[in-house]
Amino acid sequence: MAADARKKPKFPWDYEVPNTAFWNDLSYAVGVGFLRCYSDAEISRMTFDERLSTEDKLKYLLETLQTTFSEKEQEAAPTPLREADHSTWSRFQMGMSSLQHSAGNTSAEEKLARERYENGPDGTKDLSALHHLATIMEATGRYAEGEAMAHEVLPWLEGHEKLGKDSPQAISCMRILAACTWKQKKYDEGEEWVDRCRSTVDSLDTGKFAKYKVAEVKQVDDMIAELEDWKKEHGGP
C-alpha cells in the first residue's frame, strides 16, 4: 500500500512515509504506525540513523514509542490515557503493535490488539482491532477463532460509511475468511470466499478504491497460490 498511498484520491489511512534510507527497508505499516503518533515538529527533532540494522531500527522505534506512551500516561494520570484521550491512546497501541509484528513478537502484538479491542471509544468494542486479531489468528493457526472473528467484523467493514464492500479492509477480511475456512479443510466454503475476493477485486476499476486494484490483485493471487500449496501439503483432494 506504500505506493498506493501516494496516488489520488487520498483516504484517511493513506500516509506518505519519507522515501529515505532509514524507512525504505521497513514496512509501510511500521512507518505509518510510528509517524502518526507524532507531530511534524516532533519528528523533525528525532534522529533516524540509516546505518542501523533493520532489527536495531525496529528496537529504536519501539523504545521511542513506549517511552512517549509512558510519558503521556503519566501526564493524564490519575485518569487512564485511553479515557483522557482515546484517539492518542489508540494510535500508540497500533504503532507499537505494528512494530511488535515486524519484530516477530506475536504474543506482544496480540496482547496489544486484544487490549485495543476491549477498550474501544466510549466503552464500545473496537472492531478494527477485532479485524487485526482475526489476522493474527489465521497467521498463528487458530483458524476457527479467526473465522469467527472475521465473520463478526466483515458486516461492520462493509457497512462503514468510509469503507464499504470493495474497500481494502473488507477485501482483507474476505481473504482471512478464505484462508481460515480453507485451512479447516472446508474447501468448498474456502473456494466461495476466494471467488468472492476475486470478484470484488475485479470490480475495483469502477469504484472509489480503484487505485488499490494492482496491489489487491497481487494479494489475491498470492493467497490462492499459498492455499493451493497448503492443500497439497495437508493431503487435500
- Predicted local confidence at residue 9, as pLDDT: 62
Question: In 3D, which of 161, 121, 114 has the Cα closest to residue 135?
Answer: 114
- Enumerate residues 6+ apart whose C-beta is below 8 A from 72: 81, 85, 88, 89, 92
Helices (H) and strands (E) in the chain, counts: 12, 0
What pTM was estimated for this model as a whole? 0.89
Q: How far apart are the first and last CA of the chain?
A: 35
How confident is the model over 132-190, as pLDDT tens digits? 999 999 999 999 999 999 999 999 999 999 999 999 999 999 999 999 999 999 999 99
DSSP state of 203: G
10-residue block means of pLDDT along the chain (237 residues)?
59 82 92 93 94 95 96 96 94 95 95 95 91 96 97 96 93 97 95 96 89 92 95 82
Q: Would you say 2 and 35 are in contact if contact means Cβ atoms under 8 Å apart?
A: no
- Predicted local confidence at residue 6, as pLDDT: 53
